[in-house]
Structure 1
Amino acid sequence: MTDLAGHEGAWREFRAALASPRMHHAWMLTGLKGLGKGQFARAAAAELVAEPGIPQPPAEAHPDILIPEHPPENKDEAKKREDGGEYRRKRAIPIEEIRTLIQRLHTRPTLGSRRAVIIDPADDLERNAANALLKALEEPPAGTYFLLVTHRPGRLLPTIRSRCRVLRFNPLDHAAMERILRESAPQAEAAARAAAIAAAEGSPGAALDFVDQDLGRLHQVMLRLIAEGDEHFALRGELAEEIGTRPDRERQQAAVDLARAVVAAELGRGDARRNQAVIQVHGDLVRLSGQLPTYNFDPALVVMEIGALLASLAMPREAA
């Protein structure tokens, strides 16, 4: 099997545990969003449940790899799914999905002696769903292993974190990012690749989103907000135009994540007071990013909030 780019260390650690007589039953895969943790979880689960001489279907169709999903948002969206069309999903993984999963755990694996459960991302578990999962982690059925993907481990219950072995995924270096973008987005110009790499903080998924969503001009407006400020709101107007008049949630999330990367790059470029302001703004953007999936914000207010936070860093250092 080909190892995912930049994660050879994670593979070595996982495979060493897999070859040991007592492999831990629960793993927490942590790191930036877009590093390939979910892809790793599926590939690792396939190795975990593989049995010599038995053909193995892909992870998404494997009877011994269970992946609770975000169900349709409502009855209308469920009908779309039944008809084979695209449909909107709930923002969280509800308790019903975890209850159905736990019922499956009371049966024997289908093809071999092991079963893998992937929660991707575990950050999206409803509170009651997280509590239900905790019970399974406390008393796991024999041969069942859990792979919890998380971009923000602090959002998980401490009791869930304490029962997992942590597998960390580090940001990729510039060379690895450049290679991935050349292979996966050959249509992107050199300038767009460079901007994507600078904004993505070592996350290839974020860099590819940058290219796919054509965030280059948005990136330039954000840089100007920090450099020039926005006393007359003109740049915030440009920001709104680049994000779009009715951006979907993914576009809003991409904009907030890009703003976080732009702000993070400012740390250490000024004196202690400005660094403190950068840390504060970055924290505000992190909170906004965490709220977007679960709050129904007015897109215009999200744009204004991003613009105001970025422009605040252009204040004189004494004010900052």
Structure 2
Amino acid sequence: MLQGHEEPSRQWQAAVGSDKLHHAWLLSGPRGIGKMHFAIEAGRKLVGGDAPATEHPDIHILSQLPKDEKEDKKRAEGKPFERKRNIGVGQVRSMQKRLTTRPTLGDKRVIIIDAADDMERSASNALLKSLEEPPTGSHFLLVSHQPSKLLPTIRSRCRVLRFAALSEEQLRHVLAKQDVDATPEALDAAIEGANGSPGLALQLIALKLGEVRKAMAHILEGGDPHFEARAALANAIGQRPDRERLAAIVSLARSLLAKNMANGSREDFSSRHTAYLECERLAAEIATFNYDSGLLAMEIGSLLANAARPTKRHYA
């Protein structure tokens, strides 16, 4: 059973043990908290057999494909690769053709879509037909980070399993079991920025953000009247961070602001909330814009400095 997800596990087991298992399930919750892991384990137990989910003839997984031939070659070589933005209608229709045949090993098959939020509109419309008239023995597990992005008609045909973010204590327990190699500072930074997501925490640990967190916390606590702390933050971020590192850094700043938002006066809340909203904007822009790391460090540092305690505040 996944740590912190006892309730959705209980609901699923009760449904499996009933006379009639519903054909479509929406696994809803923040990114990186274990929904896909749950879907794979649930699917394997449902269809039986010893093969891994990626090789099982009765488990079909739909996710974003490599974005081009170069990235497809990387995937074939077992290297990290860049994916397309969406799951295409061709992938859904290919899956539907397989549903016209009987399951291979038993009387059930499982279709996992990760993430269903990333389907093209035409792919969603195509999937809806299968959800409206599901083939006998076919069960759909839709992983969703943002259910509001799904068609209402898809949501209405699914039973929902809600996966909540883990508490800090639960997250530390999960990471301890993973035996991660991280300094205490890097571990604290990962937990701070992960918002209860083990997957994101592991990603942040790999990015070694301990010094970045220390620099941010220093600015938020003491301001930065001489811009020295912002220079330290830029140095911790590095000269040529990739998009993944930049996104993680903005997420970390946002989490620090959120954690400190309730502390202090109404003026403190207002300045921190404004800085938080600006970090939300940066997070959305980083996905598509090319940011200079030095300028981004200055912008984040200035937001934190403006959100510092009133006696320490230094406005950019």
Shift, 1:40, TM fit: 0.8
Deviates more, 1:231-240 or 1:136-145: 231-240
Aligned position for 2:87: 93
Do the aligned partners of residues 319 and 259 (structure 1) sit closer, same or farther apart at CA in structure 2, a change above 3 Å counting?
closer
Aligned position for 2:34: 36
In structure 2, C-alpha distance between the alignment counterparts of 1:84 and 1:210, rounded to whole Å: 22
Shift, 1:94, TM fit: 2.4
In structure 2, C-alpha distance between the alignment counterparts of 1:95 and 1:113, rounded to whole Å: 26
Aligned position for 1:23: 21
Do the aligned partners of residues 210 and 98 (structure 1) sit closer, same or farther apart at CA in structure 2, a change above 3 Å counting?
same
Equivalent residues in 2 for 1:1-320, closer than 5 Å: 3-50=1-48, 55-81=49-75, 86-230=80-224, 234-286=228-280, 288-290=282-284, 292-293=286-287, 295-300=288-293, 303=297, 305-314=299-308, 316=310
In structure 1, C-alpha distance between the alignment counterparts of 2:120 and 2:274, rounded to whole Å: 28
Do the aligned partners of residues 102 and 178 (structure 1) sit closer, same or farther apart at CA in structure 2, a change above 3 Å counting?
same
Aligned residues: 313
SS of equivalent to 1:197: helix
Shift, 1:19, TM fit: 1.1
Superimposed CA distance per residue, residues 15-50 of structure 1 (whole angstroms, 9 cap, x where no aligned partner):
101111222222221222221111111111112222
Shift, 1:67, TM fit: 0.8
Do the aligned partners of residues 189 and 297 (structure 1) sit closer, same or farther apart at CA in structure 2, a change above 3 Å counting?
closer
Do the aligned partners of residues 282 and 104 (structure 1) sit closer, same or farther apart at CA in structure 2, a change above 3 Å counting?
farther
Superimposed CA distance per residue, residues 236-283 of structure 1 (whole angstroms, 9 cap, x where no aligned partner):
443333233322232122222222221220221133454344445434
Shift, 1:116, TM fit: 1.2
Do the aligned partners of residues 173 and 240 (structure 1) sit closer, same or farther apart at CA in structure 2, a change above 3 Å counting?
same
SS of equivalent to 2:125: helix
- Identity percentage of aligned residues: 45
In structure 1, C-alpha distance between the alignment counterparts of 2:73 and 2:307, rounded to whole Å: 48
Deviates more, 1:147-156 or 1:308-317: 308-317
Shift, 1:73, TM fit: 1.5
Q: For the Cα contact (< 8 Å) 1:185–1:211, is it kept in 2?
A: no
In structure 1, C-alpha distance between the alignment counterparts of 2:187 and 2:215, rounded to whole Å: 17
User: TM-score by structure 1 length?
Assistant: 0.84
SS of equivalent to 2:54: helix
In structure 2, C-alpha distance between the alignment counterparts of 1:49 and 1:290, rounded to whole Å: 39
Q: For the Cα contact (< 8 Å) 1:210–1:216, is it kept in 2?
A: no
In structure 1, C-alpha distance between the alignment counterparts of 2:90 and 2:261, rounded to whole Å: 43
In structure 2, C-alpha distance between the alignment counterparts of 1:291 and 1:94, rounded to whole Å: 24
Unaligned 5+ runs, structure 1: none
SS of equivalent to 2:111: strand
> What is the one-letter code of the residue matched to 1:249?
R
Unaligned 5+ runs, structure 2: none
Q: For the Cα contact (< 8 Å) 1:201–1:261, is it kept in 2?
A: yes
> What is the one-letter code of the residue matched to 1:244?
G
In structure 1, C-alpha distance between the alignment counterparts of 2:70 and 2:173, rounded to whole Å: 42
> What is the one-letter code of the residue matched to 2:112?
I
Q: For the Cα contact (< 8 Å) 1:185–1:208, is it kept in 2?
A: no
Deviates more, 1:84-93 or 1:25-34: 84-93
Do the aligned partners of residues 277 and 119 (structure 1) sit closer, same or farther apart at CA in structure 2, a change above 3 Å counting?
farther
